[in-house]
Amino acid sequence: MSVVAESLSWQAGGRQILQDVSLRAEPGETLGLIGPNGSGKSSLLRLLAGLRRPGAGRVEIDGQDIARLSRRDMALRVALVQQQSTTEANVTARDVVRLGRTPHRGALAGWTAADEEAVAQALAGVGMQHAATRIWRTLSGGERQRIQIARALAQKPSVLFLDEPTNHLDIEHQIAILRLVRDLRLTSVVALHDLNHAATFCDRIVVLQKGRHIAAGTPDEVLTEDMLARVFSVAGRVRPSPYRPGPEIHFLVDAPEA
């Protein structure tokens, strides 16, 4: 499914958070959102997922205006993995993943073999089968993040939105999760801080700054030394990667500020 945002604007507390932002994610594409803290990445994801209504503009998923879709219809199409999720309930990791099956079940429907298989596949996909029976509050931050991604996978969405999915993860699991998202070939929109991760795992990238759309294109087109200086205020060298298609960024930590 495609995801299209047209001229989105949104305010909160009298402050303009997003202004005239447009983007398009093609079916099966991984679209990265990058930008400094406060650039509006998380707010944009919530608008795309239908959790907030824009002050102006519209969002379409597979050609349908999401403002006209019910919550259940949205839940059958999209899943959102947010940065943090907390609960004091005495639930297991498997219980949390099982919540991803809610949109597929009627009010009186029982738990099915298909539900159980979806949960098992999701846990295996994030490498958390061994932790299925552990209580949620005993999990580390990284383990909780992987379980939240498993919940989204159990939902069997066509579109996946992820807000900083590698937060709290060690480097092994950062790479494993982003490789998993890429290899699912769902339409995915993912906010990332690590620019080299964006270069490695995203088909295209959108750059935000102070709530505005600055640039969009392939990693080669977007990740330039000029962009690093203008948007992120850092000096860096961008070179073709010897290990994969796309650029590789080396930050010059001892260089004068851009």
Q: Which domains does the chain have, with CATH numbers?
A: 3-91+157-251 (3.40.50.300)
More confident: 129 or 168: 129
Per-residue pLDDT tens digits for 200-236: 999 999 999 999 999 999 999 999 999 999 999 999 9
What pLDDT, on the 0 to 100 scale, is given for residue 180? 87
What pLDDT, on the 0 to 100 scale, is given for residue 66? 95
What pLDDT, on the 0 to 100 scale, is given for residue 167? 81
**Could you write out the DSSP letters of every residue in the chain?**
--EEEEEEEEEETTEEEEEEEEEEE-TT-EEEEE-STTSSHHHHHHHHTTSS--SEEEEEETTEEGGGS-HHHHHHHEEEE-S-----S--BHHHHHHGGGGGGS-TTPPP-HHHHHHHHHHHHHTT-GGGTTSBGGGS-HHHHHHHHHHHHHHT--SEEEEESTTTT--HHHHHHHHHHHHHHT-EEEEE-S-HHHHHHH-SEEEEEETTEEEEEE-HHHH--HHHHHHHH---EEEEE-SSSSSEEEEE-TTSPP-
Average pLDDT for 139-166: 91
CA atoms within 13 Å, Cβ hemisphere of 157? 31
Of the chain, the percentage scoring pLDDT greater than 70 comes to: 95
Instruction: Look up the pTM and report it.
Output: 0.90
What pLDDT, on the 0 to 100 scale, is given for residue 108? 65
Average pLDDT for 40-49: 96
| Cα 42 from Cα 193, distance rounded (Å) | 12
